[in-house]
Chains A and B, each alone.
Chain A
Amino acid sequence: MTGPSGMVASLPAAALVGAFVAITLGIALWAAGRSRSRQGFYAADGGLTGLQNGLAMAGDFISAASFLGISGLVYANGYDGLIYAVGWLAGWPLILLLIAERLRNLGSFTFADVACFRQRQAPMRSLAACGTLATVAFYLIAQMVGAGQLIQLLFGLPYAVAVIVTGVLMIVTVSYGGMIATTWVQIIKAVLLLTGTVFMAVMVLAHFGFDLGALFAEAVRVHPKVQAALAAGATPAEAAARILGPGSLIGDPVSALSLGMALMFGTAGLPHILMRFFTVADAREARKSVFYATGFIGTFYLLTVVVGFGAITLVMTDPRFMVPGLPGQPLDPILQLRGSTNMAAVHLARAVGGDVFFSFICAVALATILAVVSGLTLAGASAVSHDLYASVIARGRAAEQDEVKVSKVASLVLGVTAILLAIAFEKQNVAFMVGLAFVIAASANFPILVMSMFWGGLTTRGALIGGWLGLASAVAMLVLGPTVWRDVLGHARPVFPYANPALFSITLAFLGIWAGSVTDRSPSAAAERKAFAAQFVRSQIGLPAARSPRP
């Protein structure tokens, strides 16, 4: 499906990509000298301003999936890309309103600090760490698939080699630089990516005289799904709705609701986003950073949808961007797009801005991926070193240097795992893959976090039952569902029919937490319920409490 020839990088592309990678590594090395302490490595010493942190949050969140994936989804399915864009944004206000403040007042580095404020440390931290690792793993795969396809398209390297190169760069960035390096890479890349996307969207709109209607009309005219509908006897309005209304991606109500819940609640369970509430000095700056992040992310996603429609009008009709098919066969511009539909935005960059802009977008997209995977790996590594190693294995007696060392080893292991999995998931749409990471975050992390903050009746037993149930059911249904069971493992039919199981796994998690807690008659459960008052007071006004965890 991908042809290495014909699209291989020109010299400026290679130079730009090289320069970006060099800058990223340079920042990591510079930061290495400044992040020796544990506080520095995980939380950048809490020294960022709201705007900086907001940009870094947007940087963490606007991944290859958002940029390449949403534009690719719009290219293939039209409107469905917008559903993802809206869902990813809708979780942000909820984080701010219900979670951010309490999290800051209660926690220190990871969301597990909050989950075991009243509950027993060791089992809760193990659960939180596993939830974090599972989320990070699916998220990483999506990013690495995007990076692999991009490098393959740019330099004509085999896909597996491209994935390995990305993985190695990521491991180096994280293990040397920690949070300070990751943050600055995020900020730079968020600015560049926003600039590039604005430019691309403006060029697309300029092409149509800044008339959105004309853009949509042209997209309807050329899109093969519309043509197929017309050929099957649909009216022009019905046919146009194939790409300007909800389409084939969300076929039934269960899938739509499931996707909606995963996107909204998953955001509030993303470990690498939750970590960002600890990288600013106070609650005021934390709030401001969410406000900036929401603004950047909302603007960016809407522009990305415009970019996707632009790709329909300008890329779909251009044989330069297609892999040649068999002679005499009609061209399928969705299946035959070079480097898969994930690359639609990259092709559009060449169509509207020529070689130089194409190189710029490729370099920015790569830097984006590198930055996001670094943030993710850091969150995963923190779960291992801070939650598993320091609190469970060393029982709070680990030296800071050892903890940071474990974190670096964990980054390495995570990186290698991600490389192997990314090779298996080569053909998936990356926005969809990130959607799966959100399923796990929404099913395993989000219920525990919410219940421990809001429900005084929660006990360790309930949290463990519900949390493990949510995590296990989400992973099991994903593996048995169409994406893994049919597409990756090659079975004829999936065991579980829905691609997105969030509706079921989130419900199971909450039910498990509730049932496990109300039936818990142990003395420790009574103590945990009683401790809610102290936790509540602290979560509201941030007074240091005697029972606060000392990690």
Chain B
Amino acid sequence: MQDEDVERIMAHPGFRTLVRARNRFAWALAAVMVAVYLGFILLVAFAGGWLGQPLGAGPVTIGIVAGLAVVVVAFAVTGLYVRRANRVYDEQVRRLLEELT
């Protein structure tokens, strides 16, 4: 790939739209994941006592539910991205490559 090719692709509207949309989606999901997980770790670090309090009448604590929630978020984030990438982005990349070559 020559420099001209790189410049041509970088300037291609299809490429720019795809890259911007995909990266925005991926970074947004990554931000959710990091926020949820770091939030959990910060609670462990600074509010361990609060996590140890029982939630309701039973022995199940806030911390146990919080840990479970992080796992659920991780799975949901992965699922959302895979779905959109496999349905939308792959197709766009394929069309773009056809156009470019």
Q: A87, A97, A284 — which one has the most chain B CB atoms within 10 A of its CB?
A: A97
CB contacts (< 8 Å) of B97 on chain A: these are 541-543
CB pair A241–B52 under 8 Å, yes or no, is yes
Docked pose: A245 CA to B59 CA in angstroms: 11
Our pick among B1, B27, B37, B45 for the contact of A538 (Cβ within 8 Å) is: B1
Our pick among B19, B41, B59, B63 for the contact of A257 (Cβ within 8 Å) is: B41
- How far apart are A295's CB and chain B's nearest CB, in angstroms? 6
Main secondary structure of the interface of B (DSSP, over half): helix
Q: Which residue on B lies nearest to A530, using beta carbons?
A: B3
Tell me the count of chain A residues lying within 8 A, CB to CB, of chain B: 61
Q: Which residue on A lies nearest to B61, using beta carbons?
A: A244
CB pair A302–B68 under 8 Å, yes or no, is yes
Main secondary structure of the interface of A (DSSP, over half): helix
Q: B59, B77, B86, B96 — which one has the most chain A CB atoms within 10 A of its CB?
A: B59
Q: Confirm or deny: A33 has a beta carbon within 8 angstroms of a beta carbon on chain B.
A: no
Contacting residues of chain B (62-88) with chain A, CB-CB under 8 angstroms: 63-64, 67-68, 70-71, 74-75, 77-79, 81-82, 85-86
Our pick among A98, A212, A242 for the contact of B26 (Cβ within 8 Å) is: A98
Q: Which residue on B lies nearest to A79, using beta carbons?
A: B63
- How far apart are A103's CB and chain B's nearest CB, in angstroms? 13
Contacting residues of chain B (46-66) with chain A, CB-CB under 8 angstroms: 46, 48-49, 51-54, 58-61, 63-64
Q: Confirm or deny: A22 has a beta carbon within 8 angstroms of a beta carbon on chain B.
A: no
Chain A residues packing against B (C-beta within 8 Å): 79, 82-83, 85-87, 89-90, 92-94, 96-98, 101, 212-213, 216-217, 220, 237-238, 240-242, 244-247, 250, 252-253, 256-257, 259-260, 264, 283-284, 287-288, 290-291, 294-295, 298, 301-302, 533-534, 536-538, 540-547
Chain B residues packing against A (C-beta within 8 Å): 1-3, 6-7, 9-10, 15, 18-19, 22, 26-27, 29-30, 33-34, 37-38, 40-42, 44-46, 48-49, 51-54, 58-61, 63-64, 67-68, 70-71, 74-75, 77-79, 81-82, 85-86, 90, 93, 96-97, 100
